[in-house]
Amino acid sequence: MSTYIDILNWRYATKKFDTDKKVSPEKLESLLEAASLSASSYGLQPYKIFVVEDRTIREKLKPAAWGQAQITEASHLIVLANQVTYGEELIDDYLKNLSTTRNVPLQDLEGRADFMKSKLVPLSDSEKENWTARQAYLALGNLLSAAADLKIDSCPMEGFDSEEINNILGLNEKGLNAAVLLAIGYRSAEDGTQHLKKVRKPKAELITLI
């Protein structure tokens, strides 16, 4: 059985996907389950995840992603879109869910609600958008590891025009912004990148023990 380190060494940012290989519905469901279990600040998950399989839509998205081939060659394209802003309803909806899930009276959560609102609601609009985008990136990190564990190749992508992506997918109307893209599928035998050694800083340079 592979160790987690083996899995991380196997993973790389796939540049060329095998267009004939598709991620099965079962594996896709497992990957999305992992995404739903991702950590987020206060557990609020202030983002949405869109899975784009439709080839026609992805052909429209490709020019907005600087023509990168992974957009159309991958089995699926995942778009993580953060909320551009929020109000007290973000916390209220979460606590209603918590109350139902854990069978806790809502009134017993008032202290938690007040604390969360005091920290998150007064933020400026730019601070709110920055915070929600960081939460989407937490989900991205979990998706990358989960995909590798499932032996699904992936490529995270920041090179795109978010406004164009938003327009094509109708995200603006939903109060969302495309934060990051993730192409998933299976590597092509022709992708020479898979044979390259990983380039990382030495641990002694990267990590400080205090």
- Residue-wise pLDDT tens digits, 110-154: 999 999 999 999 999 999 999 999 999 999 999 999 999 999 999
Structure confidence at residue 208 (pLDDT): 98
| HEC secondary structure over the chain | CCCHHHHHHHCCECCCECCCCCCCHHHHHHHHHHHHCCCCHHHCCCEEEEEECCHHHHHHHHHHCCCCCHHHHCCEEEEEEEECCCCHHHHHHHHHHHHHHHCCCHHHHHHHHHHHHHHHCCCCHHHHHHHHHHHHHHHHHHHHHHHHHCCCEEEEECCCCHHHHHHHHCCHHHCEEEEEEEEEECECCCCHHHHCCCCCCCHHHHCCCC
Q: Which residues of the chain have pLDDT under 50?
A: none
> pTM (2 decimals)?
0.96
Q: Is residue 99 part of a domain?
A: no
Q: Is residue 31 part of a domain?
A: yes
Q: Is residue 121 part of a domain?
A: no
For residue 161, what are the domain limits? 4-82+133-206
Q: What is the CATH number of the domain that holds 167?
A: 3.40.109.10
Q: Is residue 110 part of a domain?
A: no
The total of structural domains in the chain comes to 1
Q: Is residue 37 part of a domain?
A: yes
CA distances (Å), origin 112, targets 80, 81, 89: 28, 26, 14
Structure confidence at residue 1 (pLDDT): 52
Interhelix angle for 88-102 vs 110-120, to 10°?
A: 150
Structure confidence at residue 2 (pLDDT): 72
